[in-house]
Structure 1
């Protein structure tokens, strides 16, 4: 087995996945990039440019494709996988009653089924490198607060947090760490895909509401901390941290805020 640690990252062709890949590669890790966006993965690979990368086109909705991708990466990484970063996700916004069935089905398939399939496929690989191996799942601020206009998306991210808690218990005896990261508003293209306004961009809406937009590099540092730490849920950005605190201690205040102002209000 190789001595170099390795991490397999879904959604590695852009955004959080790309930045995390660069972050871990800079610290000497062998990085596996997985995405349906092959051009995006090539850009990520070229940005790393140290030879310690492996690319694999993966549709996370395909359970068998997960086994194929992880087996191929394990071989490329010298027989070891230390971390699987279940990061791929999509987002759509708008009132639930107006969401097309196709959009709902696709979001459930990618954001929830894809994470569950990834966990199933990852277990045997992570057990080989335990203790010290980890499954890290990308949840969201939308997995902390049920925000108006994001009902289906919130459902998937609450599901990711629930899955994480279950696997934390199930896999404890195997020595596999399981954690979820809950980013707030991160400066990636996903922001514009999540909520759309007919007159303003999502970033303008957030800025007007006083919400913080964090750089994507903040997420990568938290992913690193999650791999090496002992917590179950990790927030990214002041907005997510504040709402996690308020949901625990002042749930009525958060509920009132969501009803009156929607996501991004001045809590």
Structure 2
């Protein structure tokens, strides 16, 4: 039996996934990178010690590709998968009426269906490695309270939050821990794109205009490490996420008023 642990990370070719891969590699874990971006995975792998990682082409929207990637990673990592980081995701902003059906379907397929397919496919591997195995989902501050200009994205992240809470209960008897990480805005390559097809402004610029801070991706990666090794169900990251978490729980009327004010002033972060 191998004496190290292993984690498969979707979206491992860039951004949060790359930072998480580096953090777990420093912690002595064998890291599996899963992504549709082969060049990105190679770039991430070049940052990791030789022989401590593997790469697996995966479109999280395809259940058959999930089965193949997990089977290949199981063989590559030594026969035990200790954790899955359901991290792959895409942003989508803009007023609902301005979004195309294709944009809506793609976002939900990746951000929501992909998480469900991943959890379902990984279950037997995590059960075999239990107790102590873990599913960690990338949620968001957008899963704490809905915002204008983020309807579909919020819906996907509220769904991820619900998946986390449901499986936390469902898989407890199997000895599998389930948790999620809820960052606010992270300055990754995803923010360099516009929020939707009809918008020419980078998401990064909209976030800055709304006066919201960017959380360092390294802080998110450290939270992933704590989430897998700790016992919290939801793990917020960054000042904005923590403020929304507190306000949504104790001051819902305040956050509703604040959100409406931002929307009326045209400062929707992804609108």
Pairwise same-fold verdict (TM > 0.5): yes
Q: Equivalents in 2 of 1:190, 1:3: separation in Å?
A: 36
- Residue 19 (structure 2) aligns with: 19
Determine if the alignment matches structure 1 residue 204 to structure 2 residue 205: yes
- Residue 148 (structure 2) aligns with: 148
Q: After the TM superposition, which residues 127-206 of structure 1 pair with which residues of structure 2 at under 5 Å, given as runs?
A: 127-193=127-193, 195=195, 201-206=202-207
Maintained 8 Å contact 1:95/1:148: yes
- Residue 37 (structure 2) aligns with: 37
Maintained 8 Å contact 1:33/1:53: yes
Q: How many positions carry a matched residue from both structures?
A: 265
Q: Equivalents in 1 of 2:199, 2:176: separation in Å?
A: 45
**Deviation digits for residues 140-184 of structure 1 (CA, Å, limit 9, x no counterpart):** 111112111111111000000001100000000001000111110
- Residue 87 (structure 1) aligns with: 87
CA distance 1:222–1:21, shift in 2 (3 Å): same
Is there any run of 5+ residues in structure 1 with no aligned partner, and where? none
RMSD, aligned CA:
1.7
- Residue 240 (structure 1) aligns with: 241
The TM-score normalised by the length of structure 2 is 0.93
- Residue 223 (structure 1) aligns with: 224
Following superposition, the deviation at residue 209 of structure 1 comes to 3.0
Following superposition, the deviation at residue 2 of structure 1 comes to 1.4
Q: What's the secondary structure of 2:109's corresponding residue?
A: helix
Is there any run of 5+ residues in structure 2 with no aligned partner, and where? none
The TM-score normalised by the length of structure 1 is 0.95
Determine if the alignment matches structure 1 residue 76 to structure 2 residue 76: yes
Following superposition, the deviation at residue 137 of structure 1 comes to 0.4
Q: Equivalents in 1 of 2:35, 2:14: separation in Å?
A: 9
